[in-house]
Amino acid sequence: MAMKIGTEQFKERVDNGLNDEFMRGAVASAQDGMSLKRRAVTTDELGNWEEWRNHAEEIRQHVLEHLDFYLEQLSENVAKRGGHVFFAQTKEDANEYIRSVVQMKKAKKIVKSKSMVTEEISLNAMLQEEGCEVVETDLGEYILQLDDHDSPSHIVVPALHKNKEQIREVFAEKLGYTKTSKPEELAYQARVTLREKFLEADLGITGCNFAVAETGSFSLVTNEGNADLVTALAKTQITVMGMERIVPTFEEMEILVSMLTRNAVGQKLTSYITVLTGPREDLDVDGPEEFHLVIVDNGRSDILGGEFQSVLQCIRCAACINVCPVYRQIGGHSYGSIYPGPIGAVLTPLLGGYDEYKELPYASTLCGACTEVCPVKIPLHNLLLKHREMIVEKEGKAPVSEKLLMKAFGLGAASPTLYKIGSKLAPTALNPFTSGDKISKGVGPLKAWTEARDFPAPNKERFRDWFKSREKGDK
């Protein structure tokens, strides 16, 4: 899977999202539940929460400003421990290097733990070209993979858009599963099937939550324990990291890990935080014999030094996604990228270009909820606004979706006569679509709005008429 998901245009994707009732219910309750859990272990529990955010922010900003130094230190220390480091400017470079390792090791059976950057560089497609069996071992990603490579809709809970009955059907069809749709039984089936895959794998591939420059280590954060099995059993391990995912020492690592787990899943720490350094040591029995670290730029350096640099502070916790009112309505697939929500609306156009993703910065109400929760203080809604400015400057106009919308609303409001006629007619014209004081089935420009929420119905008496009568002393 590449960064881009789906083939439809933005508007079609949004339409699909708005018509998917299960998904919308699931997203709404997930947002509520996850936000509640997040608040319990952040603002509620830690009275000095702002200090934590300030500290996380200062760490991330310092690292970005000195990124070349820390990456050099990291690579030296990985090599000292016998690991191999490859710096990949582009996704093609990364894939070619990994291809060469696969060929050299004659690897055929590959297990992976969840990694956004490997999705971003379309690693699985290359591995399949090489004739390898690639198994995603995070439960959510495994479900999507079994279901003919369905796309993820959330960066922490990738199969959020699927219900357990759909998952049971996928397991029945692909694994011959005969039990019920109880999550415990489904998860047990995944445990049994994947245990075999872990044991027979000849190559393990992981992402990287935070690399530690001082020691050449890196950490993996999971709840399922799949990353431990990916890295303990296969003889060769490849870890792929976005170049900005690095901290100076263990002491900064612990701060960012704490911020990640609290904000992503409302846990003080997840079940497994695994800190790995190099390949296995002499006489060790488990752990890889050979370790490769692939450090990926793929457009990130173009973001450095510019107005969007702060987006590279991101630790991929999805707190912004969990509070976004637009994501709540349209769901993850609407963004057409593996990075959805506010962070995706900022990052995706930077990595994938405006030609493909110019609508995304408009998928926001600019309410600022994302900026308020971000644990590393990325000014997300300001960056969305910045994108809009640049898109308008570049194109000389706003993207079609917004232009049409503005035109539709603007036409009626711009001319006093038209507005008068329009607002006089509105109560009558809209009657069939009104229930009580809300319009729940809009037409024309209102359709897009009312698919997501109700619109207040026009008053039976217009403000202008009311004001005129009031002037005359009627009321």
Partner 1 sequence: MVGTIQNRDQFLNQIANRLNRPRITIPIERPNWKYQPQYDVFKDTSQDELLEILKKQCKIIHTKIFTTDLAGLPGVVNDVVTEYGGGPVVTWKDERFSKWGLDPLMKQQWPAHNIELFEWDYTLGDENIHKAENANVGITISEITLAESGTVVLFSDKDKGRTVSFLPATSIMLIPKSSLVPRITQAAVKMREIFQETGHVASCINFITGPSNSADIELNLVVGVHGPIKATYIVIHDL
Determine whether the annotation assigns residue 132 to a binding site: no
Interacting residue with partner 1 among 16, 35, 122, 163 (CB under 8 A): 163
Task: Check the annotation: does 324 bind a ligand.
Answer: yes
- Report the half-sphere exposure of 361 (CA within 13 A, side-chain side): 26
Binding to partner 1 in span 364-423, by CB under 8 A: none
Residue 179 Cβ vs partner 1, minimum distance, rounded to whole Å: 13
CB of 320 to partner 1, least distance (A): 18
Q: Which of 43, 249, 431, 469 binds partner 1 (CB under 8 A)?
A: 249
CB 284, min distance to partner 1, A: 6
Nearest-CA neighbor of 385 among 340, 346, 355? 346
Q: Tell me if 51 contacts partner 1 by CB under 8 A.
A: yes
Enumerate residues 116-155 that contact partner 1 by CB under 8 A.
137-140, 143
Chain residues 264-293 in contact with partner 1, contact rule CB under 8 A: 265, 267-287, 291
**Whether the Cβ atoms of residue 322 and residue 30 lie closer than 8 Å to each other:** yes
Positions 204 through 233 that interact with partner 1 (CB under 8 A): 214-215, 217, 223-226, 228-229, 231-233
Minimum CB distance to partner 1 smaller for 226 or for 364: 226
Residue 299 interacts with partner 1 (CB under 8 A): yes or no? no
Q: Could you tell me how many residues of this chain bind partner 1 (CB under 8 A)?
A: 113
Q: Residue 119 or residue 297: which is nearer to partner 1 going by CB? A: 297
In angstroms, rounded to a whole number, what is the distance separating the alpha carbons of residues 177 and 155?
Answer: 27
Cα distances from 451 to residues 153, 376, 431, 446, 456, in angstroms, run: 20, 33, 17, 9, 14
CB atoms inside a 10 Å sphere around CB 377: 19
By CB under 8 A, tell whether 327 contacts partner 1: no
Three-state SS for 69-124 is HHHHHHHHHHHHCCCEEEEECCHHHHHHHHHHHHHHHCCCEEEECCCHHHHHECHH
**Interface positions, 20-39, toward partner 1 (CB under 8 A):** 26, 29-30, 33-34
Q: Which of residues 64-123 bind partner 1 (CB under 8 A)?
A: 65-69, 71-73, 75-76, 78-89, 93, 97
Distances in whole angstroms, Cα of residue 78 to Cα of each of 212, 218, 244, 295, 361: 10, 10, 16, 12, 38
Q: How far is CA 22 from each of CA 16, 25, 28, 372, rounded to the nearest angstrom?
A: 12, 5, 10, 28
Q: Kindly state the smallest distance separating residue 109's Cβ from partner 1, in Å.
A: 16
How many Å apart are CA 91 and CA 82, to the nearest integer?
25
Per-residue binder mask for partner 1 (CB under 8 A), 171-190, x = binder? ------------xx-xxx-x
Which residue number, 287 or 399, has a Cβ lying nearer to partner 1? 287
Q: Which stretch binds partner 1 (CB under 8 A): 61-69, 328-336, 351-359, 377-385?
A: 61-69
30 — phi, psi (to 5°)?
Answer: -65, -45
CA angle 385/390/396 to nearest 5° reads 120
Least CB distance to partner 1 at residue 266 (A): 10
Burial class of residue 47, CB neighbours in 10 A (0-12, 13-18, 19+): exposed
The bridge status of strand 133-136 relative to strand 210-212 is: unpaired
Instruction: Tell me whether residue 317 is annotated as binding.
Output: yes
Residue 256 in the binding site for partner 1 (CB under 8 A): no
Q: Which is nearer to partner 1, 291 or 339 (CB)?
A: 291
Work out the burial of residue 116: count CB atoms within 10 Å of its CB; fewer than 13 is exposed, 13-18 middle, 19 or more buried. middle
Q: Annotated binding site: which residue ranges?
A: 314, 317, 320, 324, 367, 370, 374
Binding residues for [4Fe-4S] cluster are: 314, 317, 320, 324, 367, 370, 374
